[in-house]
Amino acid sequence: MQLIIQDLNKTYSNGVQALKDVTLTINQGMFGLLGPNGAGKSSLMRTIATLQEADSGSIQLGDIDVLKQKEEVRKTLGYLPQEFGVYPKVDAITLLDHLAVLKGLVNKSERKQVVEALLQKTNLWAARTKNLGGYSGGMKQRFGIAQALLANPRLIIVDEPTAGLDPAERNRFLNLLSELGENTIVILSTHIVEDVKELCTDMAIINKGQVLYKGGPLDAIAEVKGRVWSKRIAKVDLDEYRKNFNIISERLIAGRPEITVLSEAQPDASFIQQAADLEDVYFSQIFNSTKETANV
């Protein structure tokens, strides 16, 4: 099964064009959607999840026309939005049972089996009678995945799922997502490059509503191999380097800036070549799109 998005456009009432001719084909497995905050990722996810209308274009999930057959999509969709609220004074097993009823699981015995299996799968069984208000951020996210799996979905969308999680909770959550991707389409929308690098065999980079790159993470890294250079400089020289070099990223090390430059050849003898990483791909794509917009 595939999710095929063709020439999708969306402009909000304030004039912001959130999606510009977005075209993607997403196969079964883990698909990473990378982009900075405000890039259009959430707009795309909400459109696929039938929570907002597109102005034009099409989305096809197998034999389902997503934009026209919304109820059919919702029957086979699992969605974990960026802001996932819970009832703080309700325990996990009670709320999940209630949500299962809303999903159409009316047979009590069958529903009990599904709910208990999902709490086991998301490693929440031991905390099933604990009120959700006492859950950690990671536990709430895992509960979010449990509710997203209630309908045995063919498509799962998770929007910025690891933001704010500590390293241990992040690892648990990513391992769970990886398991889910073995049998369904899972779209991981995030601005955290490392999440995509660790999990996804296919990905896209989006900025200002446009798809900048589509392909595999390893292929993306290969495209910038041998072109990544870095140098530590004094703070007072930073503006000068910004004027003269294609700096794709900057970071502070012991209070001094380290700049990363994308260049076919060594910029000068003081630059050191670095092993290419997916983060370099991401920053270079965002840098180039920003530069092109500024030149328009």
Determine the pLDDT at residue 292: 58
What band does 125 get if pLDDT is binned at 50, 70 and 90? Answer: very high
Question: How, if at all, do strands 29-34 and 185-190 pair?
Answer: parallel
Residues 102 and 20 in one domain: yes
Confidence at residue 213, expressed as pLDDT on a 0 to 100 scale: 95
- pLDDT at res. 291: 63
Q: pLDDT band for position 275 (50/70/90)? A: very high
Collapsing DSSP to helix, strand or coil, 255 comes out as coil
Q: What is the pLDDT of residue 151?
A: 78
pLDDT score of 199 more than 90: no
Confidence grade of residue 293 (pLDDT, cut at 50, 70, 90): low
Domain identity same for 204 and 229: no
109, two tokens = 């015995």
CATH number, residue 123: 3.40.50.300
pLDDT at residue 155 is higher than 50: yes
Range of the domain at 289: 224-295
Residues contacting 68, CB < 8 A, separation 6+: none
**Residues 209 and 260 occupy one common structural domain:** no
Cα–Cα distance for residue pair 246/287, rounded to 1 Å? 8
* 96 and 14 in a common domain: yes
Which token pair is 140?
Answer: 């709430």
pLDDT of 295 strictly over 60: no
Region 146-151: mean pLDDT is: 86
CA angle 25, 163, 97 (to 5 degrees): 80
Mean pLDDT on 9-30: 95
**pLDDT at position 279, please?**
93
Task: Give the DSSP H or E segment for 260.
Answer: strand 256-262
- Does position 110 have pLDDT exceeding 60, yes or no? yes
Rounded distance, CA 91 to CA 121, Å?
17
Model pLDDT for residues 175-194, shown as the tens digit of each residue: 888 888 778 999 999 888 98
Which residue type occupies 140? K
Residue 296: band (very low, low, confident or very high) from pLDDT cuts 50, 70, 90? very low
Same domain, 20 and 76: yes
- Does residue 264 register a pLDDT over 60? yes
pLDDT of residue 37: 85
131 and 64 assigned to the same domain? yes
Residues 185 and 277 placed together within one structural domain of the fold = no
274-287 CB burial, b ≥16 within 10 A, e <16: eebbbbbbbbbbbb
Which one of 215, 237, 252 terminates a domain?
Answer: 215
Same domain, yes or no: 14 and 110: yes
User: Which amino acid belongs to residue 83?
Assistant: E
Which pLDDT score is estimated for 160? 82
Of 215, 240, 266, the last residue of a domain is 215
212 alpha carbon, distance to own chain's centre: 15
Contacts of residues 268-273 at CB distance under 8 Å and 24 or more positions apart, as own/partner, are: 270/231, 271/229, 271/230, 271/231, 272/229, 272/230, 272/231, 273/226, 273/228, 273/229
pTM above 0.95, yes or no: no
pLDDT tens track for 59-93: 999 999 999 999 999 889 998 887 777 788 999 99
Average pLDDT, the chain: 90
Domain boundary among 215, 250, 270: 215
- Domains in the chain: how many in total? 2
Determine contact, residues 205/189, Cβ cutoff 8 Å.
Answer: no
Q: Report yes or no: 170 and 17 within 8 Å, Cβ to Cβ.
A: no
Structure tokens at 25: 């084909």
Same domain? For 99 and 185 the reply is yes
Instruction: Quote the pLDDT of residue 144.
Output: 87
Residues 23 and 144 in one domain: yes
Numbers of helices and strands, H then E, in the chain? 10, 14
- Whether 11 and 147 share a structural domain: yes
In a shared domain, residues 67 and 123: yes
